[in-house]
Amino acid sequence: MRRTTGIGLTLAAASLALGGCAALGLSGGGTGDSGGAGTTATMGKPWIMVDQGSPTPSPSATGAGKATASPSASVATPSPDPSCTKRWPRTDWRVFIPVEVTVGTGSVKVEWPRQYDSNYRVAAVPQRLVSGAQPEPTWKAVGAGTGCTVSTTITGLTPGAPYIVWLDAPNTGRDLDGTRHLYSGRSGVIIAK
């Protein structure tokens, strides 16, 4: 019986590390040879092929050509009707439609410029804190209208309670990716009389 010492195991491991696959008889030639160097066409090729090349020239500025705008998505906004004399505050009309609110007794009159021949819906959203889930706003449907402005009155408001009026235009107010805004206009906080 032959006895293996620690030195023998170390030498065997070193020969595996230095010889790689050829030490195990796995030359990769597939011809069954014992891994002799250069015995097959695939032997002796490096694992990573590197081609000789030439350096790339440095970029240089040329006076030729002219700048062109890259294509980008845009949102068309309506042109104001010149026959409409009422002036609205400047806002980002692609997102918000200006809203004018007149507070009445238990009601609000809401007016805004007509856009895109869209139908609308408005809601007076209560601003008092409520524990738990917030109640859904009660929307009032409003037609597209034909004049320069569209208006409606919301009734049934609690005197002394704070509200924000939301204006939603279902056929306007879309982001560039096509998603609709939750509302297309809103007022500041108003207090019902």
**Domain residue limits, the chain:** 100-191
Quote the pLDDT of residue 38. Answer: 46
Quote the pLDDT of residue 143. Answer: 94
Token match 């491991």: residue? 13
Quote the pLDDT of residue 114. Answer: 84
Q: What is the DSSP letter of 116?
A: T
Query: Quick check: helix, strand or coil at residue 12?
Result: helix
What residues contact 56, with CB distance under 8 A and at least 6 apart? Answer: none
Residues of the chain with pLDDT under 50: 30-40, 69-77
Quote the pLDDT of residue 34. Answer: 47
Q: Which of 129, 133, 192 minimizes the C-alpha distance to 165?
A: 192
At the topology level, CATH places domain 100-191 in Immunoglobulin-like (2.60.40)
Q: Which two tokens stand for residue 5?
A: 């010492």
Predicted model pTM:
0.54
Give the C-alpha separation, 144 to 130, whole Å: 34
Q: What is the DSSP letter of 21?
A: G
Quote the pLDDT of residue 125. Answer: 95
Strands (E) located in the chain: 100-104, 107-113, 120-126, 140-142, 149-155, 162-168, 185-191
Quote the pLDDT of residue 12. Answer: 54
Quote the pLDDT of residue 156. Answer: 95
Q: What are phi and psi of 17, to 5 degrees?
A: -65, -40
Maximal CA-CA distance, the chain: 113
